[in-house]
Structure 1
């Protein structure tokens, strides 16, 4: 990540002790409406200041509302730039809805955009990423790309090579960080991240709400394979307040990031 301004802003998303982070996206409302956990600002207030959480990702309107309530203090703030509702005939085609400059005026430390590659919108995705990176670079703002492969008719052995190609395409266009889904088999994590974590922070998405042990295994194995942390939404805001899950997650990514994994995954140094 080049440039002092970018490095300063990016540091707000990482724990200084470990160089790892847990970022919580709450951009779901535009896509799927007021889902459980995001139906009110009060619900967000119940979890947003847990010490394991380093930052949030939200659309510009929600950043304004959370900021006006004083809920973003001490957090990295990332404004999500594109989107599309699930009501659309083409929900995978995410359109640009605001600018990097507008995000900065809202107090953002970084920006994000989601690219869904379903075989029909690949060119639009790459054009959009290229334009956002150019604007962000001129303003010293880090860009996180939420990258998803939405092509369904693939053999299992095609998944990781395709994802590595898409990751490389985003890196070639200058993204500073990536959020990706973990492969179905966690033993494939080192293969997926080989070479990537040396130059680009990678965060693993949580997807649908899973069990405590599944979430902790994802964090443990992801960090072991070189990931910079988690970027999980429903697995934070749809958990009951006061549960010990986030405390246990803090032990893995903050207090004891080098703790040995019980599975045979080679421990690599996490990028910061």
Structure 2
């Protein structure tokens, strides 16, 4: 199934050497938050700019918005795990979909969320290993979102934690791993070099326009292969401008200095 997986990975990247992923799985966890109250409208508004290479959605959102998704040159990733913010700390992600369902819905990849460093880690690892095996048999790319979160974890963005996270994703059989960018002053290239699969960065907490672009620029210069940023994009007041400048950094390999010069000239 290597050929099938490669074909699907090519669709996810949409012909680029780096990838822009828009995760829209937040509603499962947090409900209809700002920016995705109306998922159909959010999808229509964002994908029409033809910047995003792939989107991440849960099963229901794929089904309900298939008329939009099927008309776009857009990679489709089905998220297979979840929890809600209504129960406990939300660390225990359980399986909510299957690889076969993703295939039947015409998806190009699946994603799972793993939280390391807490009492639920063994269950998530066992489940992810099973999904990775199935993805290998059926030619389906697997994106692992890996975070180190627990009562004993003081800062999940510390370099040693991130290096462990990407290596775990690599070893368990993922094709792409999503992690946070490291703390300021640390070298994210150490994270990228800790595994043999592409590393993409998460958006994390809400950031202003300039801080977000600088974060993307830092990640790309450190060897990251793309981004997987959700609310920092779909909750932006001007995501058309933001997406265009993200494209310039990620796909056009443009240095942020020119973008900053333009921004300051019109600010």
**TM-score normalized by structure 2?**
0.88
Instruction: Let me know the Cα RMSD of the aligned residues.
Output: 2.1
Q: Distance in 2 between matches of 1:169 and 1:70?
A: 32
* Mapped partners of 2:134, 2:108: distance in 1: 14
Distance 1:11 1:88, change over 3 A: same
CA contact (8 A) 2:158 2:183 kept: no
Q: Please say if residues 166 and 199 of structure 2, whose CA atoms lie closer than 8 Å, have aligned partners that are also in contact.
A: no
Contact 1:92 1:118 (8 Å CA) reproduced: no
> Equivalent residues in 2 for 1:1-272 (5 A)?
3-16=2-15, 18-40=16-38, 41-70=40-69, 73-151=72-150, 153-154=152-153, 159-185=158-184, 187-196=186-195, 199-241=196-238, 243-255=240-252, 257=253, 259-260=254-255
Unpaired stretches in structure 2, ≥5 consecutive residues: 258-267
Shift of 1:73: 2.1
Measured after TM superposition, the shift of residue 225 of structure 1 is 1.1
Q: Which structure 1 segments of 5+ residues have no match?
A: 263-272
Contact 1:45–1:71 (Cα < 8 Å) also in 2? no
Structure-1 separation of matches of 2:180 and 2:135: 24
Structure 1 residue 209 displacement after superposition: 2.4
Equivalent residue of 1:13, what SS? helix
Q: The residue matched to 1:57 in structure 2 has which SS?
A: strand
Give the TM-score normalised by the residue count of structure 1. Answer: 0.87
How many residues are aligned here? 256
Q: 1:112 to 1:87 in 2, by over 3 A?
A: same
1:223-262 deviations in whole A, cap 9, x for unaligned?
Answer: 111111110001111113564111111111122x1x4566
Bigger share in helix: 2
- Deviation, 1:163, is 2.5
Compute the displacement of 1:167 (Å). 2.1
1:66 and 1:72 in contact (8 A); partners too: no
Match of 1:169, SS state, is: helix
Cα distance change, pair 27–158 in 1 and its aligned pair in 2 (3 A): closer
Q: Tell me, what secondary structure is at the counterpart of 1:12?
A: helix
Residue 269 (structure 1) aligns with? none
Task: Return 229-238 or 6-15, whichever deviates more.
Answer: 6-15
Report the Cα offset of residue 146 of structure 1: 0.5
Cα pair distance change 1:150/1:242, threshold 3 Å = closer
Q: Which structure is higher in RCO with an 8 Å CA cutoff and minimum separation 6?
A: 1
